[in-house]
Amino acid sequence: MSSFPRHHPEDGALLRYVDGELARGRAKRVERHLKTCAPCRGELEELQKTVGDCARYRQVWSKLLPPPPNPWPDIYRGFARVEESLAGESLLMRLWRPFTHAGGYRRWAVASLAALAVAGVVFYQLRQTPSVQAASILQRAVARAETGPRAERRIRIRTRDRQVTRVVGAARVAAPAEPAAAAIEARFAAAHFDWADPLSARSYQTWRDGLDGKKDEVQTVADPQAPGQNCYRIRTIAAAGELAEATLTLRTADLRPVEERLEFRDREWVELTEIAEPATRSDENTVAANVTAPVRPAEPPSRSAAITPGTAPISDELQVLSALHQIGADLGDPVEVTLSQGKVLVSGVGIPAARQKQIHERLDTMAHVAVEFRDPAPVAAPAEPASAKAETAPTPAAPPAAVETRVERQLGSHAEFEKLSSQLMDWNEAAMARAYALRALAQKFPASAESELAAGDRRLLREMAREHAAALAQPVAGIEETLVPILTALGGAAEAPPAANHASWQPAAEDLFRASRRVDVLLSVMLGMAPGDGSTANLPAELRSALRELRADRDDCQRLLQ
């Protein structure tokens, strides 16, 4: 089960939290995040240690330093004398004064031009920082890949309704002719993205360099495959072309690509993930390409006649998910449920002791179930040269968006704005938890796998999915009722959402997740909790349209689950 990923606090938020400078609503959200995020807790401890060391350093040196030779002068008296001397001159004469002195014009012109040049260079560098970071990381990743050994790799390629496993390497590149793989290959060709080695820094760099217009974002995130480690996540939004945006995740330790997601203009998507286990001789060509929905390898069907005695079927996995659902452990807790070596393995890192006890009480009596929880590993900074650290410095936070100021002005005070922000983010967090949980069920039990379940298991699966979809309606309604009047006053007009055309609830759940994520991003930008792209004129309309699309996708998913 995919855990509900929470947003890491933006740069400087943890330091303001330590200093007690965060508003109460944002401080509460940081506290909730720290309870489930081991990397942020480690960073917080380092900050607290550093602040304590600074305080002790200041106390020691304040006793050793000599007293100041003279008291601080009163500069306000000097200001008063200057104001008195200029009181009889007009503003025009004050501005003209530098030109009346010998060399004044030249000095004033040179100083002005120098200031403008410096300001222009600084603005250009700040504006280009994400693109410079992305280009630098990709260049180093390409150089690392070309100098290292070129071993074969297995890559899982997943779309909305199918899954393909490929093997790529130095000796050969599999070029399957199966219809499923051929359709995906055609998409890559139309997007000018290398199909021969799709999950690589070189392919991503070549596609990115060929764009006429683009916007880059660079983040440092937790490694999805190795808890306690970090990754760079590069997201590139294309101004034109078949491919609307792409996201590449690379490990900071060795700059090896581990995940990639491509989103096309027609709302289709492709996800690529490196498979850790080594390739076998039977994997020399593409495996299991012509399927109609994502499937997990080595999983027996739920029919009892096909199950080896002593192993856990998918039905047992469903029962475990149901037990976790009953205690709410599928809504944000970092709990993973997988089929492994004939058992249903329930694992997690950094689970609170009270929650671990609840889960053990529910699952310890179930057959073919193993529960393994681990404490988070100490967070260590990735070993990088000093030059690399300088290249990947965090992007300076963007100034408050104009729409944020307009919303605050409408509400009448900053205190009311903070109150609104806290309520909206609470609703948004609840909605995202449900959207992630519903999507996890859809990915674990696609339409083809659901059809293999017994009638009772199908009813149980749909009951859980219906509960998530129904519970999603309340926070979405709260956001709409509170926010739509404000967005309307700001000139935001919603567009009609595209007509849904799904044959089953699983792809509808995927669209629902995408709409929820879009609302999450736009809402964070509007409230000043995430940097935007500098253009906020259309933000009210975009957010209204996103909310309308989210409600339509939820209604469609609920209809298909009946």
Question: For the chain, what is the radius of gyration of the CA atoms?
Answer: 28
For residue 129, give every residue at least 6 positions away whose Cβ sits within 8 Å of its Cβ, in sequence order, or none.
395, 396
pLDDT over 50 (residue 547): yes
The answer to whether 339 and 299 are in contact (CB under 8 A) is yes
Q: Which residues on neighbouring strands pair with residue 274, listed in sequence order?
A: 155
pLDDT over 70 (residue 240): yes
Domain range list for the chain: 1-83, 130-283, 402-560
Q: Which CATH architecture has domain 130-283?
A: Clam (2.50)
Domain 1-83 has CATH 3.30.70: no
| Residues 73-100: tens digit of each pLDDT | 666 666 667 666 666 666 556 656 655 5
pLDDT over 80 (residue 189): yes
Structure confidence at residue 260 as a pLDDT band (50, 70, 90): very high
Helical spans, DSSP H, in 20-168: 24-36, 38-64, 75-86, 91-100, 104-147
Which of 227-231, 264-268, 432-436, 497-501 has the least mean pLDDT? 497-501
* Percent of the chain scoring above 70 in pLDDT: 67
pLDDT at residue 498, rounded to an integer: 67
d(C-alpha 135, C-alpha 208), whole Å: 9
d(C-alpha 362, C-alpha 173), whole Å: 47
pLDDT at residue 247, rounded to an integer: 94
Alpha-carbon separation of residue 274 from 53, 121, 166, 199, 507 (angstroms): 43, 40, 10, 8, 23
| Residues 312-321: tens digit of each pLDDT | 467 788 888 8
Instruction: Average the pLDDT over 235-254 and give the result.
Output: 90
pLDDT at residue 92, rounded to an integer: 58
The answer to whether 153 and 169 are in contact (CB under 8 A) is yes
| Residues 474-505: tens digit of each pLDDT | 889 998 888 888 888 877 776 666 666 778 89
pTM of the model: 0.46
**Mean of the per-residue pLDDT values of the chain:** 74
| Residues 41-85: tens digit of each pLDDT | 888 888 888 877 777 777 766 666 666 666 666 666 666 676 666
| Residues 503-525: tens digit of each pLDDT | 889 898 998 898 888 888 888 88
Instruction: Average the pLDDT over 409-423 and give the result.
Output: 81
d(C-alpha 507, C-alpha 488), whole Å: 31
